[in-house]
Amino acid sequence: MSFNTAQVNEILDKLERQYPEAGCALEHQDVFQLLVSVVLSAQTTDKSVNIVTKDLFAAYPDAHALAAARQEDVIEIIKRIGMYKTKSKNILALARMLEEQYSGQVPEDYDSLISLPGVGRKTANVVLAVGFGHQRIAVDTHVFRVSNRIGLVQEKDVLKTELALMDTLPEHRWSRSHHSLIFHGRNCCHARKPDCENCVIGYICEKKGVESR
């Protein structure tokens, strides 16, 4: 690791001050709606997901209602987002599994979550962090890019990045840091053309080759 503990906390402090509003952008009323929204958000913007879930949750607000839905009706609601056929199949199967195995409730357990259709490591971590208040790091494209680019970690894949961040960042800051890194990726540290000149952590970022103060 290139940064010591003080520098890591300095980076996290600056990102939190820069993005005080950083948090889950998916609109939801409960953990079930959060879970469905995260499943739908794969390779799709949160903004697009929020548009379709407004109607989806109005029609099917909980696992019981969604489990009884017809796939063609769900497709009609969510067809503006990517991979809508696969996603419609997954959220219907997910709802039915919740009904059959968990009395319609979302389990507060990682292994149980990833056993649900359409739920992988990232989705499970988001649900545990946002829905249940656990300290988790969910590595999406922004977290992967930003954390490796600035030098918090130096890994080549998502899983190794997550594990390295868990080792590098203070555990009590995992969930908040996840959101800060996402917001920094969306607003400043863009994939193709990062705005290094206006970056609050540019002076310490490894990409710029600048030594820490």
- What's the confidence (pLDDT) of residue 210? 39
- The last residue of one of the domains, among 101, 131, 161, is 131
> How many folded domains does the chain comprise?
2
Instruction: Enter the pTM of the model.
Output: 0.90
Q: Are residues 154 and 74 in the same domain?
A: no
- What's the confidence (pLDDT) of residue 208? 64
Interaxial angle between packed helices 46-59 and 31-40, expressed in degrees from 0 to 180 and rounded to the nearest 10: 130
Per-position pLDDT tens, the chain of length 213: 479 999 999 999 999 999 999 999 999 999 999 999 999 999 899 999 999 999 999 999 999 999 999 999 999 999 999 999 999 999 999 999 999 999 999 999 999 999 999 999 999 999 999 999 999 999 999 999 999 999 999 999 999 999 999 999 999 999 999 999 999 999 999 999 999 999 999 999 988 653 333
> Is 46 within a domain?
yes
Q: Catalytic residue positions?
A: 122, 140
Q: Are residues 202 and 119 in the same domain?
A: no
Q: Are residues 119 and 190 in the same domain?
A: no
- The last residue of one of the domains, among 96, 131, 166, is 131
Q: Are residues 48 and 120 in the same domain?
A: yes
CATH number of the domain encompassing residue 183: 1.10.1670.10
- What's the confidence (pLDDT) of residue 206? 87
> Is 112 within a domain?
yes
Q: Are residues 39 and 124 in the same domain?
A: yes
Q: What's the domain range around 180?
A: 5-22+137-208
> Is 50 within a domain?
yes
pLDDT in tens, 18-30: 999 999 999 999 9
Q: Are residues 68 and 156 in the same domain?
A: no
Q: Are residues 127 and 39 in the same domain?
A: yes
> Is 75 within a domain?
yes
Look up residue 42 and give its two tokens: 């794969």
Q: Are residues 38 and 104 in the same domain?
A: yes
> Is 213 within a domain?
no
Place of tokens 């193709």: 192
Q: Are residues 70 and 155 in the same domain?
A: no
CATH number of the domain encompassing residue 55: 1.10.340.30
Q: Are residues 146 and 74 in the same domain?
A: no
- The last residue of one of the domains, among 131, 155, 181, is 131
Q: Are residues 119 and 35 in the same domain?
A: yes
Q: Are residues 60 and 115 in the same domain?
A: yes
Q: How far is CA 112 from CA 28, 32, 102, 108, 205, in A?
A: 21, 14, 10, 8, 38
